[in-house]
Every structure is written in structure tokens, then in C-alpha cells.
Amino acid sequence: MIPTFRIWVLAALLLPGLMELCGAADLTSRTLGVIFNEDETESRKTALLYASLRAVPLDNLIGIHLPPTDVMAPAAFAALRDDVLARLPTAVQSLLLIWSKPYAVGCMSVTTAFAAGYRPEFCAPGCGLTAPSPLYDSDDWLPADTVGWWPAMLLPTSDPPLARAVIERGVEADRATQPGTFYLVTTSDAARNVRSADYVEAQVLAGKRIRVQILTEPVSGPVHDAIGYFTGRAQVAELAQISFLPGAAADHLTSAGGILYGVDQMSALSWLKQGATGSYGTVSEPCNHPEKFPRPSVFIDHYLRGEPLLEAYWKSVAMPGQGLFIGEPLARPLSLHPLPTTQGEAASVTGLQQNTSM
């Protein structure tokens, strides 16, 4: 009898190829580019570890030189991105960026800047709406081939044990046996609670496929088996009470969640430290346009289809210019039993509530 561990190793190596032969367009290890910082030992080591555990072809690993700054200048970034794209294998459709800084390019997140290139319309100043994503709530995943985008996710390396733990959670998620619960939290913070208008839609869309529980703060007692946790607060008081399953996504709608270091609002990194596998936050003032944040109903629907974390998260944000995606991109906690696709059920998020700064 073949040991269970060996079966999973063989599955990890063979599944991407089988999916491609069958015509599946989901993100796989073979279509993921891994970009690391040549000037940081931890970045290089983490990239090699990731490639080993996720069977990423070595040709997909690209080293670059980055300035040691939180926010990179757009002019310098343009040449850097051009160099990366010129070196990417043609099969690559999405990117994993392995470093902690920079996490922004001008007023854009570094993940969207790598995806679409730096353009001011993706991070207009003030409270205006920004350029939309052609990937929002889409069905397939060939973004480089179809729209010339390389959607990216950042794996921060400032805490090496945390970076390794996040990778291991993603790998473990692929063999998850329990679906967990998506928690949607209604808060008394009116400006940051705008996503609550979508919560019932999320429950309806999920149907009997998975449990979606709506909580109202204050959240008392432990929160078990979370595969998703979405709320709206500058600080999440109940964070320490949440137990996440491998592959869980969690974020809090606030202005500065994507500014990873040195701000008074809670950083998206806090979710990873608590046990989540992926998170999201904005790097410049977005105001509370729900289009600029993950829409729970869309994320849940795509995650339930068995899509990997990067793909489901990116498809859930209508205007991602200011949004930083962090975590392990290939996590697929629901991939063992992909659920039926539902199309055309999610209504537009535009204008759910009045938009204010946060």
C-alpha cells in the first residue's frame, strides 16, 4: 500500500499537468512566476523553499534588485517591471512576490502595480472611484494571455518563521478534509461596515455548499474552524479568539491595512500572524468604496469552485489598484471536492453606501 504522504506528493506534482491537459484554466504551480529580491538572503531562501514545496519550475524563478523602501517610485518601477516581464516564461499567468518591502509603488499596491503596470487611474487621489479590474468575477484564469495582466500576491519575509508557516498552511490546505465556516462580521463602525450589505447575498450564494455565519460585534468567545473572516474595523478586538483552518482568508475593511509597518491601524500581517493563509489591505486612502475591497459573496463563490487563493481573492475585488494581496497563492482548501459553478448571481457592488474616508 502506498503511504498517504507519498500519494499527496504525487498529486501535487501531477495535478497541474493533468489540469492543463484537460483544458482547465485555473492557476497552477506551472503558471506561477516567483519573483524574489536578490539583495535579501531570506527572500532568496524563501523563494527556493516555495519552489521546492510547490513544484514550481526553476525557470519561473526570477531574481531582481529592489530599493530598501516601503514605497517605490513609479518611474523606477516601470523599468523593473519591464525587465521581469521580458524574463518570464510564456506559460506564466500570475506572480508571487517574495519580500516585505516595497509593498507599494506610488499610491498603488505593489501587487497591482506588477499585475497591470503603474497607472494613476488605479489610485486616484481623494475619494474617487478608480480603474476597474477586467478580472472581477470572471470565470477562467488566463489573465496574461487575455488582458495582459499578471495578478500578484506578496509573501512578506520580514518574519522568516511566519513566511514558512504561511507556505506550509497553503500546502496543508490542499488536503483539507473539513470545509470550515465563513464568518461575516457586522460592526458598529458605520464607515467600515459597508460590506455588510453583501452578507445575506453571500449566504444565499453559498446555499448548502458551506456554512456562512453572520456575527454581530462584540464577538464573544472563541471562533472555531474559520476558513474565511471578513469584517470592518481599524482594529479587530476579537483577533486572538479566532482559530483559522489552513487556507483561510481574512481581512478588515479599513484605510491602511495594506501599509504593513508603522501605522496605527491594524496591518493585514496581523491576520497571517493569527493563522490565516491570505489577507488584503489598501496602501493609500481608498475611502470606503466597497468596490476597492474583497466582496465576500464573490470570494466565497469562487473559493467554493475549488479555485486557488490568489485567483479567488483577485476575482473578488472590482477596483484593486490600491489593494495589497498577501499570503500563499496556491492554497486550495476546497479543491478536493470542487463545487458547482454559479454564474450571474452577484449584483453590482457600486453605490452600496455613501463613501467616506476611514
- pLDDT digits over 202-228, tens only? 999 898 889 999 999 999 999 999 999
Whether 344 is covered by a domain: the verdict is: no
- pLDDT the model gives residue 26: 84
- Are the beta carbons of 103 and 283 closer than 8 angstroms? yes
Domain with 173, as residue range(s), is: 20-327
Query: Exposure of 340 by Cβ count < 10 A (0-12 exposed, 13-18 middle, 19+ buried)?
Result: exposed
Q: H/E element holding 181?
A: strand 181-186
Pick from 151, 137, 108, 173: which is nearest to 296 by CA?
137
Pairing of strands 323-327, 278-282: antiparallel
- Are the beta carbons of 298 and 137 closer than 8 angstroms? yes
- Which parts of the chain register pLDDT below 70? 1-24, 335-357
Helix 199-206 and helix 296-304: axis angle, to 10°? 20
Query: How far apart, in Å, do the first and last CA atoms of the chain sit?
Result: 58
Q: Measured between alpha carbons, how far is 171 from 248 in angstroms, rounded to an integer?
A: 12
> Is the alpha carbon torsion for 51, 57, 63, 64 positive or negative?
negative
Whether 301 is covered by a domain: the verdict is: yes
Strand partners, 98: 36, 155
- pLDDT the model gives residue 294: 98
Whether 341 is covered by a domain: the verdict is: no
- pLDDT the model gives residue 6: 40
Q: What is the pTM of this model?
A: 0.89
Q: How many domains does the chain have?
A: 1
Pick from 85, 99, 122: which is nearest to 37 by CA?
99
Whether 7 is covered by a domain: the verdict is: no
Whether 354 is covered by a domain: the verdict is: no
Whether 293 is covered by a domain: the verdict is: yes
Q: Measured between alpha carbons, how far is 309 from 248 in angstroms, rounded to an integer?
A: 9
- The verdict on whether omega for the bond into residue 218 sits within 30 degrees of 0, i.e. cis, is yes
- pLDDT the model gives residue 40: 96
Whether 256 is covered by a domain: the verdict is: yes
Whether 2 is covered by a domain: the verdict is: no
Pick from 21, 46, 28: which is nearest to 36 by CA?
46
